A and B are shown apart, each in its own frame.
Chain A
């Protein structure tokens, strides 16, 4: 009985910590993105609210909260109101399986530093990232607006296409670790990270992840110079904010996924594991921002061609070759 109680309390504490860390990080990710993008374009970015603009996220939240919450006429009201919440919620849920540090021992108990160490953690993550399609589809459909619908259709096609290459890119990782548990996958990278072992899979995974996060060069669902703001055209106030925060939580979770699957998770010399983990996540996030500052948006047919005619065949070949090599070399 007490055992169960202590475990539940521990999970609750971890949950709150992760929740706070991820939300705080997401808020400052917005600021970091605006600053870094600004510097890349020889501007300063936000620097008025607080020292170096550090209070900007608070100002943004206040602005979003006090804005009017509009529901378009003839919109599917319930769906319209639920969709943005789903966007953030699904992104947050994925964090449950991410191990950010090796288990620590506290008062004689071994505490795994992951909210819930599922043995099929990887599948859980892939499943949730497919579920993220729903928030776009429902939001776009329920808005009763042509731009939102167009954005939603684009988003659907894009996410489903790139899900495939993403799933195929993690197969070599699973083959190496012989497990779907993310903790096991990190442990299997103790000597060298999967990035060096499977460089091709890493590149494919990075590209797919960028497409999954719906950011430039794959931001067709929002393509602001063609379809206003895509699936969230009709949203205002904090509901728009939820979509927005969802995007940045997504960046963090996808960054953690890249870290866990390819960059060796918490492994690293000298510094404590949690620091290594954070550094790697931030580095991946920086790559996302860097890409946004560098590449223009693809055309829709280019996106589809690139996904179906290039990425997926290459990923498939990669799986075959990796499998063959591992079979030949032995376990």
Chain B
């Protein structure tokens, strides 16, 4: 009968809540206990360096173009050896939504998400990170990659001198 089913259904719920009373809560008591985020956790970005210690960022503006909230800004500059770099590079973490699009857009693996999530500050202006705050000492998730060893720009090796690089194409050979 329906009534019997209803009563049973109601009482079973009581048993469930009562048994939950004796289970360990799943809460993480934050300041004392901390969760260790997975390495791929998407929290604040860092700027990484290539294996030779140079800055990876070539100031191509792809990340700032990809950013849906427009919180990355930079000024491009060029060193005498042809290496491009950012004269200044700024991320406003008060606006960032940690979507990761900048890291996906970056051709040089320079900008990467890091698991550092504790960036609450009282003053919003202190959430504007400059290049010095963003740069870290190593290559982050992919330590061996060096953009200039694949790019065909004569910065690390002379043009055409890299292992996986084809020689310059003879335009005349393309004419039918």
**What is A's interface to B at a CB cutoff of 8 Å?**
36, 38-44, 290-291, 293-295
Nearest Cβ in chain A — how far from B31, in angstroms? 10
B27 touches A294 (CB 8 A): no
CA distance in complex: A27, B20 (Å): 25
Name A39's contact: one of B14, B16, B25, B29 (CB within 8 Å). B25
A-B interface contact total, Cβ < 8 Å: 33
Contact present for A290 and B25 (CB under 8 Å):
no
Q: Which residues 1-37 of B sit at the A interface, judged by CB distance below 8 A? A: 10, 13-14, 16-18, 20-21, 23-27, 29
The answer to whether A294 touches B26 (Cβ under 8 A) is no
Quick check: A36 and B25 within 8 Å, CB to CB? no
Q: Which of A39, A44, A295 contacts B13 (CB 8 A)?
A: A295
B27 touching A43, Cβ below 8 Å: yes
Q: Could you tell me if B14 and A44 are in contact, using CB atoms closer than 8 angstroms?
A: no
Q: Let me know if B20 and A39 touch, CB within 8 A.
A: yes
- B→A interface (CB under 8 Å): 10, 13-14, 16-18, 20-21, 23-27, 29
Q: Is the CB of A39 within 8 A of B21?
A: yes
Contact residue among A41, A44, A295 (Cβ-Cβ distance under 8 Å from B20): A41
Instruction: Report chain B residues within 8 Å CB of A43.
Output: 25-27
- Contact A44–B17 (Cβ < 8 Å): no
Interface of A is mostly: helix
B20 touches A42 (CB 8 A): yes
In the complex with contacts A294-B13, A295-B10, A44-B18 CB distance below 8 A? no
A44 x B29 contact (CB < 8 A): yes
In the complex with contacts A40-B21, A41-B20, A294-B29 CB distance below 8 A: no
Residues of the A chain whose Cβ atoms lie less than 8 Å from the Cβ of B26: 42-43
Name the residue of chain A whose CB is nearest to the CB of B18. Answer: A290
Assess whether B17 is in contact with A290, with CB atoms less than 8 Å apart: yes
Contact, CB under 8 Å: B23 / A42: yes
For B22, the closest partner residue in chain A by CB is A39
> A39-B20, A290-B17, A293-B17 are known contacts. Are A44 and B10 too (CB-CB below 8 A)?
no
In the complex, are the beta carbons of A294 and B25 less than 8 A apart? no
For A290, the chain B residues whose CB sits under 8 A away are 14, 17-18
Cross-chain contact A44 with B21 (CB below 8 angstroms): no
CB closest chain-B residue, reference A39: B21
19 CB contacts below 8 A, A to B, read A38-B25, A39-B21, A39-B25, A40-B18, A40-B20, A40-B21, A41-B20, A42-B20, A42-B23, A42-B24, A42-B26, A43-B25, A43-B26, A44-B25, A290-B17, A290-B18, A291-B14, A294-B13, A295-B13
- In the assembled complex, the CB of B148 is this many whole angstroms from the nearest CB of chain A, namely 52
Q: Give A38 to B24 CA distance when docked, in angstroms.
A: 11
CA distance A183 to B49 in the complex (A): 84
**A16 to B14 alpha-carbon distance, docked (Å):** 37
CA distance A42 to B16 in the complex (A): 12
Contact of B25 among A42, A291, A295 (CB under 8 A): A42
* Nearest CB in chain B: distance from A302 CB, A: 12
Residues from chain A with Cβ under 8 Å of B14 in the complex: 290-291, 294
With CB as the reference atom, state the residue of chain B lying closest to A47. B29
B21 touches A36 (CB 8 A): yes
Interface centre among A39, A290, A291, A295 (most CB of B within 10 A): A39
Min CB gap B3→A, angstroms: 10
B28 to chain A, nearest CB (A): 10
